[in-house]
Amino acid sequence: MKLLQHSLVARIVASLLAISAMALVSIAVTMTVANDSRGDAAAINMAGSLRMNTHQILTALLRYDLHPDAAHDDGVAALVERFETRLASPELTDALPDAADHALRRQHRELLSRWTHDILPAINRARAADDRQGPDPAPAFEALVGDIDALVTLLERNSESKIQLLIILQFLFLALTVVVVAIALYDIRHNLVTPLRHLLVLAREAARRNFGYRTHFRGNDELALLGRTFDNMAEELATSYAELEAHASLKQAELERSNRAMQVMHDGSRALYGGGNDLCASAAPMLRQLEQLLDVGPIRLSLNDPHDDRQIPILATHSPHRPEYCRDHECHACLIDPQPLKLEQAQQGECLLLPVSVGELMLGTLEVWHSRSQPLSDSVRRLLNALADQLATAVYLQRRIEEQQQVTLMNERTIIARELHDSLAQSLSYLKMQVARLERMQQKEAPRERQAAVFDELRTGLDSAYRQLRELLTTFRLKLEGPGLASALHQTAREFGKRLGYPVILEVDVPPHLLNPNEEIHVLQVVREALANVLKHANAHWAAITINFQEARLHVVIEDDGIGLDDDSSPPMHYGLVIMRDRADTLGGEMTLHNRPGGGTRLALVFTPQTARLIHQQVAPRQDATGASAAETADSFHDDRTPG
């Protein structure tokens, strides 16, 4: 009895055992009746499937009548075979009573007879190819369906009679069970249902994130113990959930801060990459905003000097003074700070030293100071690494631009020196030799007639040198409307068009950035020299320039309709033509000059462009190349000044 008083499970088990005992008696009595009903449901189901099979056969016959092919005929045959199999299946015949005069037996025999004598012949006639227009089999199928319905009805009535007998027996034992159940329900309501309701309320409140509800169960049964356990679990969940909310809030705040920092870096990248040579003005505002967002600072950026391997301070936030190597004292980007702070005072904290590098090239370091009491999180470290990479890219691009500008400047100087060497320097060298010749003639007291010839050559040489100088000045003073050779050619065509008195036709079909600056100057000088010859000697009324790129070669053609050449060959000793041939040899091409069939001359220059667009990765090789170019220029001037 004590067990029943202190255990809810024991009381429920006792009630169940009492109910089970009465149920066993009821089962033993009704088992025979229930065993006799076995197979009735399968028989009813099988009989009902015959009705569906009948409609399927009729539908298949209609499809076969519309499309008499082998596939539809096979379908009708398969459905007929399925109907016969189900009609003679054990599920249906075993459920029929053994008595031959029973109504179910008679109805089954009648159904089998109708199928054999009426339906099968109608199906065979419908399948026959020569008798497709016979009588409609639908009435026979309707009669078959009626017989099937009658069989199903008899099966249902037979099963219902057995079920009624079972119901009577169940009611008999139900009355005996009600008394036991009423006693059990009373105990369950007061000792099981009410505590379960309290537990459900506790679970519902916990699902609503309200962990303050308690059951306060008393007693020693299982539900009382479960209630006290749930109370302890709710208290622990309340504590854990509060900690999780606090952690999630911190993570959310950190994520928002990281997003704002990424936005600041993204906005600052425009000024950083487009700020030219002013790294302080473009980077200082971004660094100050990142300090406020990430709660770090000050930040100091130092770059490596590529010449003597030392670090040079470039920028320091919260600094009251300029960097030691500040290049622009008109800039105040690093001094605009409401609270200047000496970097030495911040060194009482901890410093995160980040490399500012691109690949294996070390450009400098980024010092980020922060408080020792607030260590940097992983997200902040990732943002600072991204900042260092961004600064490294900006510094690297800035240096590459400066180096490219230096290389471009030296290339321009080399081109100018080469042009002076190929034109004016040769003329001056020739004049110098003529002066030396004149001095020797005067020392030997040569006749004035011989000296007059030298004076004429000096005068001609001076005129040629002066003309070349003017051509060079005109070439280098051209204001290009756009990059490349085409802009200079258009200006040249307009210039000579005004001097000739008629427009010079220009056709240019050249890919952009095909020629290097040296090749562009040579081509432009050849065109100008050819147009100058047209102006001086051709007496023409039409001139045209055609430049195109075909089969990896550049074709330059200058034509006119002037008086042409005397013997359809280029004058071998004409000074301007000699210079143009030298330019063609320098370009590695071929120049031809001959008369046009319709009158005038045609000058053609053909060469293969050799563009030099390689960018060196190291600074030293580029400086060596620059120094070599300058040395070659100096040597060329020295050779020109040396008398031959």
Of 223-227, 299-303, 326-330, 507-511, which has the strongest mean pLDDT?
Answer: 507-511
- Which helix (H) or strand (E) is 351 found in, with range? strand 350-358
Tell me the pTM.
0.42
CB 419 within 8 A of CB 521: yes
pLDDT tens-digit series, residues 78-120: 877 888 787 777 777 777 777 777 777 777 777 777 787 777 7
**C-alpha angle 610-612-613 in degrees, rounded to nearest 5:** 135
Closest-CA residue to 505 (of 468, 465, 459, 558): 558
Fold of 2-200: Four Helix Bundle (Hemerythrin (Met), subunit A) (1.20.120)
**C-alpha angle 138-140-144 in degrees, rounded to nearest 5:** 110
What is the rounded distance in angstroms from the CA atom of residue 417 to the CA atom of residue 426?
A: 12
What is the rounded distance in angstroms from the CA atom of residue 282 to the CA atom of residue 301?
A: 13
Name the one residue in this structure whose structure tokens are 């109910």. Answer: 19
Q: Quick one: pLDDT at residue 331? A: 57
Q: Is 546 helix (H, G, I), strand (E, B) or coil?
A: strand
What is the rounded distance in angstroms from the CA atom of residue 241 to the CA atom of residue 236?
A: 9
113-127, 219-233, 619-633, range with the lowest pLDDT: 619-633
Q: Is the pLDDT of residue 524 over 50?
A: yes
How many C-beta atoms surround the C-beta of residue 16 within 10 A? 13
The number of C-alpha atoms within 13 Å of 450 and in the hemisphere containing its C-beta is 10
Q: Where in the chain is the domain with CATH 3.30.565.10?
A: 482-613
254-398 sits in which CATH class?
Answer: alpha beta
How does the average pLDDT of the chain come out, rounded?
A: 75
Q: Is the pLDDT of residue 616 over 70?
A: no
State the average pLDDT over residues 460-477.
Answer: 72
Q: Quick one: pLDDT at residue 478? A: 53
Q: Quick one: pLDDT at residue 618? A: 35
Q: Quick one: pLDDT at residue 555? A: 94
Q: Is the pLDDT of residue 344 over 70?
A: no
**Residue count of the chain:** 644
Residue 601 exposed, middle or buried by CB count within 10 Å (0-12, 13-18, 19+): buried
Q: Quick one: pLDDT at residue 408? A: 67
Q: Quick one: pLDDT at residue 613? A: 33
Q: Quick one: pLDDT at residue 560? A: 93
What's CA 181's distance to the chain center, in Å? Answer: 71
Q: Is the pLDDT of residue 639 over 90?
A: no
What is the rounded distance in angstroms from the CA atom of residue 425 to the CA atom of residue 441?
A: 24
pLDDT tens-digit series, residues 52-67: 888 787 788 778 777 7
How many C-beta atoms surround the C-beta of residue 484 within 10 A? 16
Percent of the chain whose pLDDT exceeds 70: 79
What is the rounded distance in angstroms from the CA atom of residue 60 to the CA atom of residue 52?
A: 12
Q: Is the pLDDT of residue 423 over 70?
A: no
CB 602 within 8 A of CB 568: no
Q: Is the pLDDT of residue 558 over 90?
A: yes
482-613 sits in which CATH class?
Answer: alpha beta
pLDDT tens-digit series, residues 296-315: 877 878 787 766 667 777 77
Q: Could you tell me which residue, 368 or 426, shows the higher pLDDT?
A: 368
pLDDT tens-digit series, residues 130-151: 555 556 677 777 777 777 777 7
State the average pLDDT over residues 256-283.
Answer: 70
Of 151-165, 258-272, 343-357, 470-484, which has the strongest mean pLDDT?
Answer: 151-165
Going by their DSSP bridges, the two strands 350-358 and 553-560 should be labelled as unpaired
Closest-CA residue to 489 (of 474, 473, 508, 476): 508
Secondary structure (DSSP) of 76-129: HHHHHHHHHHHHT-HHHHTTS-S-TTSHHHHHHHHHHHHIIIIIHHHHHHHH-G
Confidence of residue 634 (pLDDT cuts 50, 70, 90): very low
State the average pLDDT over residues 364-393.
Answer: 80
CB 476 within 8 A of CB 486: no
| b/e code 351-361 from CB counts within 10 Å (16+ = b) | ebebebbeeee
Going by their DSSP bridges, the two strands 311-316 and 543-550 should be labelled as unpaired
State the average pLDDT over residues 557-566.
Answer: 89
Q: Quick one: pLDDT at residue 628? A: 40
What's CA 460's distance to the chain center, in Å? Answer: 69
Q: Is 162 helix (H, G, I), strand (E, B) or coil?
A: helix
pLDDT tens-digit series, residues 427-448: 787 788 878 888 888 888 788 7
CB 299 within 8 A of CB 367: yes
Q: Could you tell me which residue, 49 or 556, shows the higher pLDDT?
A: 556
What is the rounded distance in angstroms from the CA atom of residue 528 to the CA atom of residue 423?
A: 13
CB 542 within 8 A of CB 560: yes
Residue 431 amino acid letter: L
Q: Where in the chain is the domain with CATH 3.30.450.40?
A: 254-398
Q: Is the pLDDT of residue 258 over 50?
A: yes
Backbone angles phi, psi at 582, to 5 degrees: -60, -40
Q: Is 511 helix (H, G, I), strand (E, B) or coil?
A: coil
